[in-house]
């Protein structure tokens, strides 16, 4: 069963289910083991790395059709929910035939379209019938702070981000004595390569899909939008955006911007919320598992730009990438309406939480849909009946997996992955990043967004402050002054970090269009 989830109204609240990660990994194959299991759930250790500071693990399921010599299959990366572990979605390693609904959905499904019946919750796995196989590898990584690893304490949820370095060792508001855990970097630079080197997985974005439930749905969305060039299809179940963002992330290019006339000394604002030491507020923080948010993102006011970088609605425009009108990512997510339909709902002690979480995530999913609509990004969104609970999710697993499977590459040459774009938009607070084959290096002190719009091989528009070094994608064969690398000065930076989503507005910073010519 997926874990009890996060997002109480107005706070991104969460319940933490304790787990002993170190003991759990004892059942897993050694990281150096070159073998893998077929047709059964298994797990494998992921070696200690500089991103999390300790050994982690993945669970996986490889369908029999994917084990033929020389054959490669697509991978669905599942992002677990609050309190979850690498066992979520696929179940624990048992050596017995798998019973998880997610795995059953690869070869079977409800005898009816759950969207067309009044009682979809009555079509659990016991009612399912055989369906065409989806030759899709499922991988679940363990995304938690690790014993002896980085972070204030072990076993905190990831909030699916690289944690704010201000509150880690050496930061200007240090609150714990280790480097920050880098969950986003861990997934992108370690989990994906590990999977593609250990399992019969195809390599490249065309072979990858993401999915998650609740906090994991949030993680799927934000990871896919932060790195749109790494995944072809992504989705969320009862996840969504972050209502605390509260500001539009739609970029409207401006001609005249607002910035200091000269460079002023930089002074980051103190973060009063993240300044609370764990020992001083343990009861309050533990009650809603806010430590991951507090130390992961920082203060929602002083570190607002960092918060926005880590919520998908503020990154919705990153999904605006296409070739000849065909969008470069397939997006599909669903949500329940938070209304109980079963007698068992009211009899269950967890009912208040099931309803509260789904009420909250309904708002966040609606916000995500609004952000995509405003950003002119194509997506498919459905609202189903029920609570934040497995019986209401499972009947739709087959449909979700089938739709995502259709938009990735298959071992037999079929599948319809969306094309890489010839035009895209993108925004990021990071000073060094690459996307769609382009590389950007930004010299500035404040934490703020660099906004890129209408990026093509013939030109692009940049908005922000500081100095930006751009390396044009090699596939373009274009640049400035016969060089694929050029430097653009966007003018003096602000003395404080970007406040309250100001970077989404055309008056923030300087807007410059650069024309590119053949080399």
Mean pLDDT, range 319-343, rounded to an integer:
97
Over pLDDT 90: what percentage of the chain? Answer: 78
State residue 507's pLDDT score.
Answer: 82
What are the tens digits of pLDDT across the range 119-129? 999 999 999 99
Question: Does pLDDT of 7 surpass 70?
Answer: no
What are the tens digits of pLDDT across the range 438-475? 999 999 999 999 999 999 999 999 999 999 999 999 99
Question: Does pLDDT of 339 surpass 80?
Answer: yes
At 499, the pLDDT band (50, 70, 90 cuts) reads confident
DSSP string for residues in 347-406: HSTTHHHHHHHHHHHHHHHHHHHHHHHHTT---EEEEESB-SSHHHHGGGHHHHHHHHHT
The residue with tokens 């508001």 is 173
User: To the nearest whole number, what is the mean pLDDT of the chain?
Assistant: 89
The dihedral built from the CA positions of residue 427, 428, 431 and 437, taken in this order, carries a sign that is negative
Long-range pairs of 396-400 with CB within 8 A, sequence gap ≥ 24:
396/114, 396/115, 396/120, 396/237, 396/334, 397/101, 397/102, 397/105, 397/109, 398/105, 398/108, 398/109, 398/110, 398/128, 398/131, 399/109, 399/113, 399/114, 399/115, 400/211, 400/235, 400/237, 400/332, 400/334
Question: Does pLDDT of 327 surpass 80?
Answer: yes
Q: Are 188 and 434 in contact (CB under 8 A)?
A: no
Question: Does pLDDT of 139 surpass 80?
Answer: yes
At 429, the pLDDT band (50, 70, 90 cuts) reads very high
State residue 282's pLDDT score.
Answer: 42
At 506, the pLDDT band (50, 70, 90 cuts) reads confident
Question: Does pLDDT of 16 surpass 50?
Answer: no
- In the three-class reduction of DSSP (H, G, I as helix; E, B as strand; rest coil), residue 191 is classed as helix
CATH of domain 21-245+313-405: 3.40.50.1820
Question: Does pLDDT of 13 surpass 80?
Answer: no
Question: Does pLDDT of 11 surpass 60?
Answer: no
State residue 474's pLDDT score.
Answer: 98
Q: Which residues pair with 210 in a beta bridge?
A: 77, 234
Question: Does pLDDT of 54 surpass 60?
Answer: yes
Mean pLDDT, range 356-383, rounded to an integer:
95
Q: Where are the domains of the chain?
A: 21-245+313-405, 422-518
* Run of H or E residues at 221: helix 215-226
User: Quick count: other Cβ atoms within 10 Å of Cβ 163?
Assistant: 28
Mean pLDDT, range 164-189, rounded to an integer:
95
> What single DSSP character describes residue 164?
P
State residue 243's pLDDT score.
Answer: 54
Over pLDDT 70: what percentage of the chain? Answer: 89
State residue 4's pLDDT score.
Answer: 30
Q: Which residues pair with 467 in a beta bridge?
A: 443, 489
State residue 276's pLDDT score.
Answer: 58
State residue 259's pLDDT score.
Answer: 83
What are the tens digits of pLDDT across the range 236-273? 999 987 655 444 444 444 445 678 888 889 988 887 76
What are the tens digits of pLDDT across the range 282-318? 445 444 456 788 888 888 888 999 999 999 999 999 9
Question: Does pLDDT of 161 surpass 90?
Answer: yes
pTM: 0.92
Tokens (6 digits) for 268: 């980051």
Gyration radius of the chain's alpha carbons: 23
């Amino acid at each position: 069963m997926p874990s009890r989830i996060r997002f109480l109204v107005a706070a991104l609240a969460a319940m933490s289910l304790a787990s002993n990660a170190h003991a759990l990994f004892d059942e897993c194959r050694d990281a150096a083991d070159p073998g893998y299991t077929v047709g059964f759930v298994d797990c494998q250790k992921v070696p200690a790395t500089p991103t999390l500071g300790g050994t982690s693990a993945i669970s996986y399921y490889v369908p029999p059709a994917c084990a033929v010599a020389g054959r490669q299959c697509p991978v669905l990366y599942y992002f677990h929910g609050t309190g979850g572990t690498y066992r979520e979605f696929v179940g624990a390693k048992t050596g017995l035939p798998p019973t998880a609904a997610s795995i059953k959905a690869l070869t079977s499904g409800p005898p009816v379209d759950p969207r067309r019946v009044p009682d979809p919750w009555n079509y659990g796995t016991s009612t399912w019938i055989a369906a065409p196989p989806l030759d899709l590898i499922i991988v679940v990584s363990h995304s938690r702070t690790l014993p002896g690893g980085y972070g204030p304490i072990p076993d905190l949820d990831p909030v699916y981000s690289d944690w704010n370095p201000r509150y880690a060792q050496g930061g200007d508001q240090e609150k714990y004595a280790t480097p920050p855990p880098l969950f986003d970097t861990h997934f992108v630079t370690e989990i994906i390569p590990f999977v593609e080197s250990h399992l019969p997985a195809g390599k490249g974005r065309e072979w990858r899909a993401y999915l998650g439930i609740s906090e994991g749905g949030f993680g799927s969305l934000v990871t896919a939008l932060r790195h749109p060039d790494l995944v072809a299809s992504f989705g969320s179940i009862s996840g969504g955006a972050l209502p605390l963002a509260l500001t539009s992330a739609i970029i409207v290019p401006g001609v005249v911007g607002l910035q200091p006339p000269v460079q002023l000394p930089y002074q980051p604002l103190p973060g009063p919320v993240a300044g609370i030491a764990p020992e001083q507020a343990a009861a309050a923080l533990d009650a809603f598992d806010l430590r991951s948010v507090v130390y992961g993102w920082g203060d929602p006011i002083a570190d607002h730009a960092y918060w926005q970088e880590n919520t998908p609605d503020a990154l919705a425009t990153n999904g605006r990438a296409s070739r000849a009108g065909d969008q470069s990512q397939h997006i599909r997510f669903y949500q329940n309406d938070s209304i109980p339909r079963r007698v068992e709902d009211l009899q269950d002690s967890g009912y208040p939480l099931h309803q509260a979480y789904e009420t909250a995530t309904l708002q966040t999913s609606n916000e995500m849909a609004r952000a995509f609509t405003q950003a002119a990004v194509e997506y498919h969104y459905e609202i189903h009946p029920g609570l934040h609970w497995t019986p209401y999710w499972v009947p739709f697993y087959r449909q979700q997996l089938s739709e995502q499977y259709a938009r990735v590459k298959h071992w037999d040459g079929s599948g319809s992955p969306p094309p890489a774009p010839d035009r895209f938009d993108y925004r990021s607070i990071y000073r060094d990043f690459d996307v769609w084959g382009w590389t950007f290096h930004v010299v500035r002190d404040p934490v703020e967004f660099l906004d890129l719009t209408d990026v093509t091989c013939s030109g692009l528009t940049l908005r922000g402050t500081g100095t930006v070094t751009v390396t044009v994608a090699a596939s373009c064969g274009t640049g400035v002054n016969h060089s694929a690398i050029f430097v653009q000065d966007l003018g003096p930076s602000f003395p404080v970090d970007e406040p309250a989503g100001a970077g989404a507005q055309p008056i923030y910073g300087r807007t410059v269009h650069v024309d590119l010519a053949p080399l």
